[in-house]
Chains A and B, each alone.
Chain A
Amino acid sequence: YRDLHTFELQAPTRLIEWACGNRVCVAGYGQSNGNEILQLIPPPTLLTKETQGLCPERDFKVERGGFSERPVYSLKYVPDTSLLVTSGPPDSSLQVWQVSAEDSDVIKSVSTIAAENGTGQSWAKIATISARAPWVLHGSRLDRVQVTEVESRKNVYTAASRGSEELSNLAFLDCNTLLLCCATGRLCLADIRQPQSLAEAVSVPSAPCSEQWCMGSRNGAQGLEPSSQPVARLSSRGLLTLTDLRKTSEFLALAKARVPCPGSGAEFLCVSWAPALEGYLAISGFDGTVHVYDTQSWDSSGRDAEPIFVHKGHTFGGAGGSRDFPLVTVHTWHLQKPRTLLSAASDGSLHVWDWVQPCGKC
């Protein structure tokens, strides 16, 4: 490690989102009422490029907070606005919140975007963009994908139905292109301008036991054509596939991560690309660790891959003698500092760590 900071949140979070001004947002996902949404100001150590050892302020400050009646499973800021959108059980409706107010630090609930005939629907996955207007892409299943304008709550686009599998992630590739990933591993591309079409990428290798998949795409990378960035898919067994969206008929790469098997389920599976390091990605959700991989040496053979770095900090958390080890619920990369990540676990811990490239690599 170059640096490691550990913090303890009052309640565990399963999301870490970046907001403008280098703010970080976390939220509680407990079953009971009173989950908090917290917008935090990271300590200056994280804001500066240079890592200082001892710094006057080493703490996160709660800048703003809000109260949510339902557990918050997903949260996305709406760019260019002072709003954010959350989703969580029991249904697939979305809650819209106003973040900044002049005279108060409370994040207030503003409106709700209703779920469509949602009986027995699980929670909606969301993505946001502000291209022609602030939009939110949401849906819990493949046949229920919609784009809604945030402020007016008007529906802008509904995806054609191609099945009713549960979704695990969705993303805007650009202001017209959507990327949808199902829990079965199925990856679909949609164009808002052509509601009926839905292109599919090569599906994942089928497995003897059922496994769940999630995806990580790289959006917002400066100046790069979004579709030129490979999309990673991660399975609950540790299988990783990389797909180039321009050539969706074959895999770019296939590898197997070293993760405990059987895994602890797919609740917190997370894979993400490093914004400042070409070809690096991180995975988590299997246990109390986060793995960092360099995918540049991967091929399509499906071989075992060695992580460049494993963050084990959360496994040492365990407050006083509990048998269960904490499970990493989410991780994210720092937007500017190339090797810094933030990770959170089910025991409420929040770590910020900066890993050192092992010798022998550039």
Chain B
Amino acid sequence: MPEIKVTPLGAGQDVGRSCILVSIAGKNVMLDCGMHMGYNDDRRFPDFSYITQNGRLTDFLDCVIISHFHLDHCGALPYFSEMVGYDGPIYMTHPTKAICPILLEDYRKITVDKKGETNFFTSQMIKDCMKKVVAVHLHQTVQVDEELEIKAYYAGHVLGAAMFHIKVGCESVVYTGDYNMTPDRHLGAAWIDKCRPDLLISESTYATTIRDSKRCRERDFLKKVHETVERGGKVLIPVFALGRAQELCILLETFWERMNLKAPIYFSTGLTEKANHYYKLFITWTNQKIRKTFVQRNMFEFKHIKAFDRAFADNPGPMVVFATPGMLHAGQSLQIFRKWAGNEKNMVIMPGYCVQGTVGHKILSGQRKLEMEGRQILEVKMQVEYMSFSAHADAKGIMQLIRQAEPRNVLLVHGEAKKMEFLKQKIEQEFHVSCFMPANGETTTILTNPCIPVDISLGLLKRETAIGPGPDAKKPKLMHGTLLMKDNSFRLVSPEQALKELGLAEHQLRFTCRVHIQDPRKEHETVLRVYNHLKGILKDYSVQHLPDGSITVESILIQATAHSEDQGTKVLLVSWTYQDEELGSYLTSLLKKGLPQGT
């Protein structure tokens, strides 16, 4: 049976780095190439040696597809393409191609410059890697080679995130990456057509969660910000450069407008300014509402949010500042944090996940005395809050997507097996499909049942229809033909035509069976007896006694000879062609019963 093989190299059963290997109809595709943010050593990269021990990756892989710019999906790409070695095509959407290198460079700077690591990719490597990227549009079918084609679908989640449909011949796989089935303030919801893939690979990070309504989250967030600003405090929101920052900006802008607040909101310069620029550029990737109002007012031209200057941090009075990077591990956000940490009127709101080891993680765990460079101790008196606005699909969303795409099988990544048994059963029961949950390094084989198109020769078809409809015109009719497989095409032709095309001669098979009959009389008398006997029984068949002493039943030949050693025994030779097998066997068993007395 043909099969699709899937091996997660990361994100099999953990959240961290996504990297999935898919083998479909002889093609090998790598889906995402992410980095684990929690490790500082080689564990952060997927284990590429699994793919091929000594072969070249470029020869083995047909293409690499990146779903979106989050580092846990693309962070290991330069390492993979430049340090491990891959020169084939890398596919991603236009916004992802534009924003990826920025994030990679940012992360590289922090890891190498600030942390002083050596085994890491360089800026040049990022540039070289991006040269191998082929950007795709939504719903555009891209031919990777003659047999492999891919198509991107809108996934929501972050700007430029896409779900990919991969097709080889009649077999197909859909990979969702991270997606979101409910629209938010600046992005729409994921959507896919009824493509009926053999396999749907979906993330399931939030599958077992019933999420608090967005309204409540936002309301609490705004309440905290408002309270702090009202009492003259400063609010620091470290953002992870792109993604949620824009969502929060829109949220605050709308709130400030509604409540007529005067405190300034700042957006730190550099990285995130460029990000806003990209959001404006890729406005078609944002949601309906933004696009509609874009003509009157660009949602990303904020009235109340201004560019930040380092000196502003020392200004007295309330303010809100969005600064990068998101985990307070270095850079401007850390600088501002150090300035404001000592005042209990201030507040820092962490809007996302913080990797262990970063200042962000430490303060969220409750630490209030931090050791900084030069062994300085920083006492944190400011309020620390956490608010997660990340956009992932929950169980209801996953079911919705499955309902839209109608896959034959489902594979879940990014979750824990034990805790997903219920979801697995739910999917299996509701959609009657098989659901798989492999661990990292574990290969799942999915059997597919592809349709193979076969051309039937007109002559053969005409011949069959000439026979006329069977007793039950609605039932499928059995027909015989010869299947010719030539040059990737399949044709069904009559055997005669096949023989002619292939230049083969037809072989005739003939069976001969010996039946012993006790009869002391002469051969021709035995033959007469046999003839009368058969004529009497086989009334529907043409039984003939030929002048040369043989009997024919239809096209079967019966001849009698005397047994060489025993004159009392006659040997009947019954001979038939392969086509008359049934009648031949019947005759033989009939004759073996012996001749009745009296004929």
Contacts and interface: CB of A to CB of B under 8 A. Distances in A.
Nearest to B421: A104
Given A6-B216, A56-B386, A105-B419, A62 B208 contact: yes
A157 interface: no
Task: Count chain B CB atoms within 10 A of each CB in A6, A54, A105 and give the residue with the most.
Answer: A54
Contacts of B217: 58
B450 to A, nearest CB: 31
Contacts of B387: 54
B483 interface: no
Task: Count chain A CB atoms within 10 A of each CB in B210, B220, B425 and give the residue with the most.
Answer: B210
A65 B426 contact: yes
A87 to B, nearest CB: 22
A73 B386 CA distance: 38
Nearest to B388: A56
Interface string A1-28: 0001111111000000000000000000
Interface in B414-471: 418-423, 425-426, 429-430
B419 A53 contact: no
Contact of B395 (A56, A62, A105): A62
B211 interface: yes
Given A53-B220, A56-B386, A58-B217, A40 B210 contact: yes
B209 A59 contact: yes
A42 to B, nearest CB: 10
B430 A53 contact: no
Contacts of B211: 7, 58-59
Given A6-B216, A54-B224, A54-B386, A105 B210 contact: no
Contact of B421 (A6, A36, A60, A106): A106
Nearest to A33: B429
A7 B213 contact: yes
Nearest to B384: A54
Given A34-B429, A56-B386, A61 B396 contact: no
Contacts of B223: 53
B349 A9 contact: no
B456 to A, nearest CB: 43
A105 B216 contact: no
Which secondary structure characterizes the binding site on chain B? helix
Contacts of A66: 422
Contacts of B208: 61-63
Interface string B575-597: 00000000000000000000000
A62 B212 contact: no
B215 A6 contact: yes
A106 B421 CA distance: 7
B135 interface: no
Contacts of B525: none
B385 interface: yes
B349 A54 contact: yes
B221 interface: yes
Contacts of A64: 422
Nearest to B208: A62
Nearest to A43: B212
Interface of A: 4-10, 34, 36, 40, 43, 53-56, 58-67, 103-106, 350
Given A9-B210, A60-B209, A66-B422, 7 more contacts: A8-B213, A53-B385, A54-B385, A55-B386, A61-B209, A106-B421, A106-B422
